[in-house]
Amino acid sequence: MKNKTKLPGIFLGIVLVVMYLPILMVVLYSFNEGKLIASWKGFSLDWYVQLFQDEEIWEAVKNSLILGLLSCFSAAIMGTLGAVGMARVKWRTKGAVEYISTIPIMIPEIILGMVFLTFFHLLNLPNGMVTLVIAHTAFCIPYIYMMVKARLVGMDKALEEAAQDLGATPVRTFFDITLPLILPAVASGCLLAFAMSWDDVIISIFVTGPRVTTLPIKIYTQMKTGVTPEINALCTVMLGVTVLVLTLSGFIQKRFQKKQL
Partner 1 sequence: MGEIILSLKNIKKRFGETEVLKGISLDVEQGEFITLLGSSGCGKTTTLRIIAGLEEPDQGQVILEGRDVTKLEPHKRNVNTVFQSYALFPHMDVASNVAYGLKIRKVPKTEQKKKVEDVLNLVQLGEYGKRYPSELSGGQRQRVAIARAIVNNPRVLLLDEPLGALDLQLRRQMQIELKRLQKRLGITFIYITHDQEEAINMSDRIVVMNQGIFEQMGTPDEVYNHPLTSYVARFVGSANIFHRDGKAYAIRSEHVLFSKEETYPYRGVVKEKSFAGGQLRVLMQLPDGQEITASRHGIDAQVAEGDTVCLGWEPDHAVPVRE
Quickly list DSSP for 187-256: HHHHHHHHHHHHT--HHHHHH--TT---HHHHHHHHHTT---HHHHHHHHHHHHHHHHHHHHHHHHHHHH
Q: How far apart are the first and last CA of the chain?
A: 35
Question: In whole angstroms, how close is the CB of 90 to partner 1 at the nearest point?
Answer: 10
Which member of 5, 124, 225, 260 binds partner 1 (CB under 8 A)?
Answer: 260
Question: In whole angstroms, how close is the CB of 249 to partner 1 at the nearest point?
Answer: 20
- Is residue 167 near partner 1 by the rule CB under 8 A? yes
The 180-209 contact track toward partner 1, x by CB under 8 A, reads xx----------------------------
| Span near partner 1 by CB under 8 A; candidates 18-26, 96-104, 176-184, 190-198 | 176-184
* Binding positions for partner 1, 137-156, rule CB under 8 A: 156
Quickly list DSSP for 95-158: HHHHHHHHGGGTS-HHHHHHHHHHHHHHTTPPSSHHHHHHHHHHHHHHHHHHHHHHHHHTS-HH
| Span near partner 1 by CB under 8 A; candidates 7-15, 70-78, 164-172, 225-233 | 164-172
Question: In whole angstroms, how close is the CB of 2 to partner 1 at the nearest point?
Answer: 38
Angle formed at CA 108 by CA 103 and CA 113, multiple of 5 degrees: 100
| Span near partner 1 by CB under 8 A; candidates 23-31, 146-154, 161-169, 214-222 | 161-169
Whole-angstrom Cα distance, residue 109 to residue 88? 31
Which member of 7, 39, 165, 210 binds partner 1 (CB under 8 A)?
Answer: 165
| Three-state DSSP string of 53-86 | HCHHHHHHHHHHHHHHHHHHHHHHHHHHHHHHHH
- Is residue 89 near partner 1 by the rule CB under 8 A? no
| # chain residues binding partner 1, by CB under 8 A | 20
| Residue 44 dihedral angles phi and psi, to the nearest 5° | -160, 150
Which member of 164, 221, 247, 257 binds partner 1 (CB under 8 A)?
Answer: 164
Q: Considering the complex, state which of residue 40 and residue 91 has its C-beta at the smaller distance from partner 1.
A: 91
Binding site for partner 1 (CB under 8 A): 156, 158-159, 161-169, 172, 176-177, 180-181, 259-261
